[in-house]
Chain A
């Protein structure tokens, strides 16, 4: 039986490796016996051999606890002889609407071979410590016991608290890898209980859709993938779903058969374009110009949806011509709320306050055009105009000819786009996480939103933009002091009392706005959790700037946004001086980070330029770097201690849900973790215990952080373990608790519990949930309808959570005015890295989810097995480069070597390197990330304005990496 052979080979291989490194990483000994015992079986014919190959002992539910969009694929995990030998999609998703295809089977090639990763050479199964005397990254390890490892870590954490204060403990939350019970979440809880700094996961991954947030006051709203099918025009714009949304892409090909027109707008003829009807090629980074060109034609032809525009957007709001600021109530009355804005009511021909309570217009008819003179309270007179008038003037420059010069698309392509948009009834723009990775990606998103707002394409099935949403599941496990109903009620009471306070300041806050304010408070004051904790999450840019070595790169004038009137430093300082980031700027400039607690994240792979700057600046100061992961990563290689975690089929957990699916998807423990690997809850429980034990031995108990928040090491474990209710093996109880809380919140059907999931694998949500992120969906979930967000605004007329309480295209923040970005506009991508002829772009690759699977042996065999840089043959020819040649990619920041892949589909002048390769797949360990200076857009440091205030995952500055300037030459 040849499967046996493979297992034996595998064991043999593991043994050889073990000998080589003096330890046994992966030898599940009990299985060895079983495998040997089965070798005596014989079979009568070869057909039976094949039949036998397909047999198993046990089937469990599984999913992959990765940051994949939307992911949430439900699998069956097949176990034989105590080893997971394969997985196959569960395919139990019900059809939601009769004439809309179902979601089955969901799952891709990566999910289809996770069992290979589980037992692959990248798997870590014993605690490792960097060998004494060898530098970080050397790849010399010694196997140590859990007790040794935890003692080392505990002492380093205590040292950090003593030396620099608790903020010097850094936990990079990462991308949600590893589950909602396990993964990063237990380390999140522990770090907060210690008073440490938890870096914001969206800030780290650059997955915050800034332009959507600027426009809607939120970006966390998304249609379910089957809702795409309802569109009659789909614009693939900064999304390559054939690579990035493999299990969802069928809704596009099927919609096309159903009559939907599919247009792909991209610099390269990417994989998704092959299934489009139209291809619109554009220069990288010029998409905002194209969007505004389309808007110009819509406005110019008077073809906009006036009803939608007047009711749902800020376009009727009045702006003072003298200052460019909105007309505000204090201007007019000398008192009152500064965020009380005005419209001109054409029905009454009078200045009228724009309602803050509702979008409902009733008898009011807001004028979109016309100048009016308004007498201010001080007797002066000013001219005011609706935003729409300013917009019309502003758009006029984006003629098809001008847009053609900027984008490289021809004038008739711009006109054709406009005609398609105007001819469609339901438009969905599928823009991915590519836009926020461009320096001016927010302008692109604002332009896209403007197309859809002008045509009323929000809040109906088949319309909208792709946002993101991970809510619904009530994930209070970094907040609750106790499990169960009691813990839930403590939070609910705190939430209500906070909301009560916020309502005193502004009685017109909607439920959605209140929930966001509670989150803001939790990040700054930790007012929601009954536990003594540090802030929920912290934007990472202070860490990068003060401790990561980024200040110089961000101040490089040659690479900077040409629209900057001052230096980056001046903006950075002003933002802090104005208090826009109060309570969030940590660790402070003089507080050197001491311990990096990386759980299921890969800082050195992910951080743009981090392989250069973080290694040079942050790493030497760290006293201890810890990786908790199930597989070796670039960051793991550069760690001092590696703690082996359980993989996705070795613990009971859920994939963090997303509204794209609207199902909660379960993974169960099929087998024990191999070797000494442990689930992350257990690891952190043991660490909390050890910290308390070492603190007692060292005589440490009370301390406070820079803001005077008190912590006590005595009782740490009890607090971590939900008032001592949970033991190290009780991860499953947390899973049960998450479900119970979600049922309490009304987002899962009554009586749903873990047994329900063991039976069905998936359960569909019935409500969007109760936290801010959930409410950002602003929609009801109906049992027989695809999910489309923003109904509460469009149908129920509830205000949007923006400063203007409408879909906001005019942002009159002083910096936006200074930048010339009060209205959506187009700006060229800065010459990041210097002035070089080629533009390097990227995107998620087909073969990995971030760096998960990227070094897997099986998947590496489905492509060239090494990183490639795609390049147009013309550009190759001009440089004497042939397919598969090794080239040097360089700019003024750094350089890296990579093999070229000839790609007639790449735009001349563009080179594409998909991510996320591990740095150790490149010669010298220098990946493409080292050529990316990791700039953040200075304007995103703005704050103190309505929605332009941070809370978890929102309004967080993030690094950009698309459109870096490079030259390529034969290495």
Chain B
């Protein structure tokens, strides 16, 4: 049953495993609503010790994200060489606040108190710089960036774990940690260049997104994807040539990994964001300079972002001229469940061992 052990993990590392589960997030449909974050939160991280953990976060870019300034924290590889990483502090993650409900509601203090976080005044959190972005009015710009564990093909976290507690499941490429074996040394969190590994201060173990493996095993899409009201998260096997993920990543090349230079070969991909035209001083449209600077997108997604944007914009133009586009039809998603093939089962049909014994 247990999938832990060095042999299993080594076998899956370093090349795209057959059956690798991947996701594509279309940033042109992301609305920053946090439904994915909350879906994950209510399912996996409600316990004490996990209150501040958000395995799924959505941040506004440009921004410092969560943990704060995570892109400056190292980890991963450059040109195949492991990079030193820093361990994000609890303050850099921020969040997880509790509030003085009882004092405000029941302690007879009237308006001398108001509802606020207990303890030091918060200065950062999982979504502190929401909607701030960059640029100058009216040419300000921003977009939303959902992030979770990238379940990398070359996971530096797995390599960094001195106890061999981490592994990449051979059948689906999900990166997991044997929490029974983990001693909370947090080498994984240091090594992860995406800084998506948290520390459970009650259980004293590291934790991160498990890609809803209990759901995937039952043919149900991960909660973040299935609960996304923006309908922008494709889930599937990367090598499934007939399905959108493969087409978006390999055929159209419009879905790109975040920070490919980190060298871990992320398996979460993004369709980069378009934006409204910039306005010139006189209110006319600046057709030459994109509102979101291409240099910024290149910093996030690497040089391939130019081609991806050209492809997208070319197809948009084609459709506006009355043409048809297989690519845009795919991104439209006429039938919601097709986002997740083959993980299209209704969770109510399975729901874990005790599900649907009664009540349905």
Interface residues of A (CB under 8 A from B): 2-3, 5-6, 9, 17, 20-21, 44-60, 76, 78-80, 86-89, 91, 95, 98-102, 104-109, 112-113, 115-116, 121-122, 131, 134-135, 137-141, 242, 246-247, 249-250, 253-254, 256-259, 261, 264, 269, 271, 273-279, 281, 409-413, 416, 632, 637, 846, 855, 857-866, 870, 872, 884, 901-908, 918, 920-926
Contact = CB atoms under 8 A, between A and B. Distances in A.
Contact of A257 (B127, B332, B358): B332
B336 interface: yes
Interface in B189-234: 202-203, 210, 213-215, 217, 223, 226-232
A55 B350 CA distance: 9
B298 to A, nearest CB: 19
Contact of B142 (A57, A264, A274): A274
Contacts of B322: 259
Interface in B32-84: 32-35, 37-39, 41-44, 46-52
Contacts of A47: 1-3, 176, 213-214
Contacts of A9: 47-48
Contact of B125 (A100, A865, A918): A865
B78 to A, nearest CB: 32
Contacts, number: 340
Contacts of B104: 139, 920
10 contacts: A21-B102, A51-B352, A108-B35, A246-B35, A257-B319, A281-B138, A859-B38, A904-B137, A905-B132, A905-B137
Contact of B114 (A88, A137, A857, A923): A923
B106 A141 contact: yes
B355 interface: yes
A87 B223 CA distance: 11
A95 B335 contact: yes
Nearest to B177: A46
B48 A109 contact: no
State the majority secondary structure of interface residues on B.
Answer: loop
A106 B180 CA distance: 38
Contact of B336 (A48, A51, A105): A105
A908 B114 contact: no
A259 B99 CA distance: 47
Contacts of A250: 29, 31, 229-232
Given A56-B351, A865-B122, A866-B116, A46 B110 contact: no
Interface stretch (B6-14, B16-24, B147-155, B275-283): B275-283
A131 B110 contact: no
Given A51-B214, A278-B276, A20 B102 contact: yes
A279 B135 CA distance: 15
A247 B229 contact: yes
Given A108-B35, A139-B104, A273 B276 contact: yes
Given A137-B111, A141-B106, A857-B98, A104 B38 contact: no
A273 B316 CA distance: 18
B146 to A, nearest CB: 12
Nearest to B346: A91
Given A56-B351, A116-B42, A246-B33, A104 B337 contact: yes
A525 to B, nearest CB: 44
Given A253-B29, A277-B276, A906-B137, A105 B226 contact: yes
Given A46-B178, A47-B1, A107-B227, A864 B128 contact: yes
Contacts of A80: 354
B133 interface: yes
A862 B37 contact: yes
B126 A139 contact: no
Given A47-B176, A104-B336, A855-B115, A861 B96 contact: yes
A867 to B, nearest CB: 10
B253 interface: no
A893 to B, nearest CB: 18
B261 interface: no
Contacts of B359: 57-60, 79
Given A47-B2, A109-B35, A855-B99, A135 B125 contact: no
Contacts of A253: 28-29, 31, 230, 232
